[in-house]
Structure 1
Amino acid sequence: MTAPATDEALWLRRYRPAPEAAARLLCFPHAGGSASYFRPMAEALAPRVEVVAVQYPGRQDRFREPCLDSVADLVDRVQPLVASWSDRPLVLFGHSMGSLLAFELALRLRDGRSGPPVAHLFASGRRGPSTVREETPVHTLDDDGILDDLARLGGTDLSLLEDAWLRRTVIDCVRADYRAIETYPCPPDAVLDCPVTVLVGDDDPKTTLEEAGAWRSHTTGPFARRVFPGGHFYLSERWAEVCAVLGEAFDGIAAGAVATRSGSE
C-alpha cells in the first residue's frame, strides 16, 4: 500500500526539521491532542534527532475532517507513510492514547517487511495495552461527563471551551479518541521484541504504577519504568527530564549502530 504524497503533509509534522539526524522519533499525541503538543520535544532534541509528530484528523488545521474512532484505522493511515523510513533507526513515543497507537504500529513493523523495525518504544501515561479497568467507558458518557473527565485530568484550559463551536469540536474529538482506545482489542500475547520504556506520573488517575508496569509482559526485549512527579499530563512540566531519558536511549542506539558497522567491515 502506497500513500499519496499529500498524506504526509496532512499526517506528519516536523517542527524542527533535522535532515542530518542520526535517528527519527515518531510521536503520537493523547486523546483530544494534536501534533503541536510535541513541539517542545522537537526543539529539545534537534538537530540530533528528527522529531516527527502525528496530526490526527478533526483538530487544528484538520478540523473539517471527520475524526477516526479506531486504533486500527488511525495506524492504517500512518503505516504507509513510514514504510520507506529505512535510512535511520526509528523510535516511537506515545502519550496516553498515543501509546496504544505506537504499540500497534510497532507490532505491525516487527518483521521488517512492512517498514523499518522499531528500535525502541516509549509509552507515556498509559496502562499496559491488555490491561482493562472495570469502569464506565468515557466515550459512552454524555457531554458533561466528558468535560468532567477532562477537568479531572488537567491539561486542558476549560475556559477556552466557553465558545460553543470549539466545545463541540473538542468533545467530538475526545469522544472518538476514547472510543478508539476503549475498544482496542489487544490480546495478552501481543508481544514486541524491542526495548520498551514506560513513563508515568506518580499521581496519574488514569494509570497506576502497577498498571504501567504491565507493559513488561508485552515485550521480550529490555523493559524500564520511569516515574515522574505529576499527574496524567506530567509531561507538560517535565520535558527536560523526559528528553534526557530519550537521550540515553538514543546514545545506546547510536553505539549499537557503530558496533554493527564495525562488525561488518
Structure 2
Amino acid sequence: MNSAWLRATPTHGDNAIPLFCIPHAGGNASLYHPWRALLPAGIRLVQVCLPGRLERFRHPMPDSFDALTQQLADAMLPAIGARWAIFGHSMGATLAHEVVLELCRRGASEPQLLAVSGRGAAQFHRPGQVHLQDDDALCAELIRLDSNNAQVLAQAELREVILPAIRADYRLIETYPARPQGVLHCPLATFNGDSDPEVDDASIAGWRQWSHGPFHRYAWPGGHFYLHQQRAAIVEAIGSLLLHD
C-alpha cells in the first residue's frame, strides 16, 4: 500500500481496517503519526502524503481541487477493499468527502466511516482571498487559527520553505467549486473543537444531507486545531464507530 501518496503502518492482521487520514491545508502526514500508538489492533493507519511537503517537497500541487481529488483517488483505489474508513481535518475533510464520492463513482465500496473534522458541509463553503495576499497576511491567518504557529513563522528561513505549499493549499480550497455529486449511505461523523471559529452549529449539522447513513457528531474543548489536545478521544471515538457499532 505504501506509495508516494500513502504511508501505511504495519498491520496487526489481515482483517485490520485501513483508516486513510488526510491533513489540513499546509499540514502533512506527520499530523497523524501519534495515532499509531493509539489506534486499536483492528484499525490500520494510512497517512495521506500530499504533494509539496516532507519527502514530496518537490512534487507540485495539482492545479485544481478536482485534479487533487482525481490523483488521490488514483492512489487509493488499488488499496480499497470491502472495509475501509477515512478521516480528514479542515481542507482534508473536504478532500475526504470528494474522494469518497469519486471512488464510489469508480466502483469502490463505500467506507465504513467518513469522518470530517473542523470543516463545515459543502453548502456552507465560501471562496477566499488569503492565497492572493502577501506572506505577512498569510502568516497572520495561520496564527489566527493556531497561536502556536507564531514561533515557527517568526523564522524567515522556515517561512521561505513552508509558505509556498501552504499558499498552494489555500488556493485550492479557496477556489474549490463546492459542488459534490451524489449522496452516500455510509456512516458519517463530524468532529470539531467547541470554540473553532471556522465552523458553527449549522455548518456542522449540514453534513447530514450528504449521507443517508447514521450521523454522529462529536465536539471537544478547543479551537480549530483541537485535535492536537484531543487525539486520544478522537481515536477512541473512531475505534468505537468502526469496531463496536
TM over 0.5: yes
Match runs of 1:58-73 below 5 Å? 58-73=52-67
1:116 paired to 2:78? no
Counterpart residue type for residue 219 of structure 1? S
Q: 1:242 to 1:13 in 2, by over 3 A?
A: same
Counterpart residue type for residue 123 of structure 1? V
User: In structure 1, which of residues 121, 125, 144 is the aligned counterpart of residue 118 of structure 2?
Assistant: 125
Match runs of 1:245-256 below 5 Å? 245-252=237-244
TM-score (norm 2): 0.90
CA distance in 2, matches of 1:47, 1:188: 33
> 1:234 offset after TM fit, Å?
0.4
The percentage of aligned residue pairs carrying the same residue is 36
Deviations 1:148-200 (A, max 9, x none): 11101117533223443421232211111111112222237642221110111
Runs of 4+ in 1 over 4 A off after TM superposition: none
Match of 1:45 in 2: 39
Structure 2: runs of 5 or more not aligned: none
Q: Per the alignment, in what secondary structure is the counterpart of residue 178 of structure 2?
A: coil
1:238 paired to 2:223? no
Contact 1:12/1:54 (8 A) holds in 2: yes
Q: Per the alignment, in what secondary structure is the counterpart of residue 52 of structure 1?
A: strand
CA distance in 2, matches of 1:196, 1:81: 23
Deviations 1:79-130 (A, max 9, x none): 12222335451101000010011001111123561x3322210000001122
Contact 1:16/1:46 (8 A) holds in 2: no
Match runs of 1:74-113 below 5 Å? 74-111=68-105, 113=107
CA distance in 1, matches of 2:90, 2:115: 11
Counterpart residue type for residue 123 of structure 2? S
Match runs of 1:176-195 below 5 Å? 176-187=168-179, 190-195=182-187
CA distance in 2, matches of 1:189, 1:57: 25
Deviations 1:198-250 (A, max 9, x none): 11111101111221111111112111211111000000000111011101111
Structure 1: runs of 5 or more not aligned: 254-265
Q: 1:116 to 1:84 in 2, by over 3 A?
A: farther
TM-score (norm 1): 0.84
CA distance in 2, matches of 1:14, 1:248: 21
User: In structure 2, which of residues 118, 138, 149 is the aligned counterpart of residue 157 of structure 1?
Assistant: 149
Q: 1:224 to 1:75 in 2, by over 3 A?
A: same
CA distance in 2, matches of 1:205, 1:221: 28
User: Structure 1 stretch 139-148 or stretch 67-76: which is displaced more?
Assistant: 67-76
User: Structure 1 stretch 194-203 or stretch 79-88: which is displaced more?
Assistant: 79-88
Contact 1:119/1:195 (8 A) holds in 2: yes
Contact 2:19/2:45 (8 A) holds in 1: yes
Contact 2:7/2:47 (8 A) holds in 1: yes
